[in-house]
């Protein structure tokens, strides 16, 4: 297998890696916002159920969660998710929504409560207070942990291979197993370095753009 064929195969796998990352990221951000809302509800039942769910997800391996999402629907309810790709996206989105929810909550809780009282004294509505007082400060606070979690998401897409979804690592592994050329495994690091370099650059630019905000 020549260098061109290797690149072609890895690029196809990397295309799947990008797809898993982008779709998961787009889904997990609003889902994480919903989980944050439920976690911070004054209703103790809802809040405690959310706390329990967060504990379970954060305390168990993502690999196990992917396997559960793959097998559990068929074993428990008699139906299966036909697409393995969709199964991985669901598992990744659910997992990262939980982590993002905790990041969002910590960012919200970090805004000084005195600002809330001042905003209320000015007659601002709850929506105006959130958009004009809280939002930018929250974004500023959560950028560093969000950057770390996003990079972790890029790498965790490799776990899709557990249920035979051909992302870039699985593509490399099949080449190594078939043609016994070990350098391909190390070569895949370049794809991750480039991708995560781009992610880091975007977050760095965003952080600089919001540097004027005092938190």
| CATH code assigned at 63 | 1.10.3720.10
Residue 159 falls inside a structural domain: yes
Angle at 168 between CA 160 and CA 5, to 5 degrees: 145
Please report the pLDDT score of residue 215 as a whole number. Answer: 59
3-state secondary structure of 170: helix
Please report the pLDDT score of residue 214 as a whole number. Answer: 64
Residue 64 falls inside a structural domain: yes
Residue 42 falls inside a structural domain: yes
Residue 215 falls inside a structural domain: no
Tokens encoding 1: 């297998």
Report which of 125, 105, 113 is spatially closest to residue 50, judged by C-alpha positions: 105
Residue written as tokens 């809040």? Answer: 47
Provide the number of structural domains found in the chain.
1
pLDDT string in tens for the chain (215-residue length): 789 999 999 999 999 999 999 999 999 999 999 999 999 998 999 999 999 999 999 999 999 999 999 999 988 888 888 899 999 999 999 999 999 999 999 998 888 777 777 777 777 777 777 777 778 888 889 999 999 999 999 999 999 999 999 999 999 999 999 998 999 999 999 999 999 999 999 999 999 988 876 65
Instruction: Find the helix packing angle between 3-39 and 44-59, rounded to 10°.
Output: 150
- In the chain, DSSP assigns E strands to none
Residue 202 falls inside a structural domain: yes
Residue 142 falls inside a structural domain: yes
Structural domain of 55: 3-209
Residue 160 falls inside a structural domain: yes
Please report the pLDDT score of residue 168 as a whole number. Answer: 96
Residue 134 falls inside a structural domain: yes
């Amino acid at each position: 297998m020549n260098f061109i064929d290797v690149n072609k195969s890895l690029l196809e796998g990397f295309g799947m890696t990008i797809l898993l990352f982008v779709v998961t990221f787009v889904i997990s951000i609003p889902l994480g916002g919903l989980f944050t809302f439920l976690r911070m509800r004054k209703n103790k039942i809802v809040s405690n159920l959310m706390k329990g769910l967060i504990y379970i997800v954060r305390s168990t391996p993502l690999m196990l969660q992917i396997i559960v999402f793959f097998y559990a629907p068929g074993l428990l309810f008699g139906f299966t998710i036909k697409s393995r790709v969709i199964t991985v996206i669901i598992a990744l989105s659910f997992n990262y929504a939980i982590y993002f929810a905790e990041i969002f909550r910590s960012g919200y809780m970090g805004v000084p409560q005195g600002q809330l009282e001042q905003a209320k004294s000015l007659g601002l509505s709850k929506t105006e207070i959130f958009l004009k007082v809280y939002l930018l400060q929250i974004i500023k606070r959560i950028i560093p942990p969000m950057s770390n979690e996003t990079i972790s998401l890029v790498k965790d897409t490799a776990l899709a291979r557990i249920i035979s979804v051909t992302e870039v690592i699985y593509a490399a592994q099949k080449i190594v197993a078939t043609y016994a050329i070990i350098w391909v495994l190390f070569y895949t690091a370049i794809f991750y370095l480039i991708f995560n370099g781009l992610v880091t650059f975007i977050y760095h630019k965003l952080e600089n753009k919001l540097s004027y905000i005092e938190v």
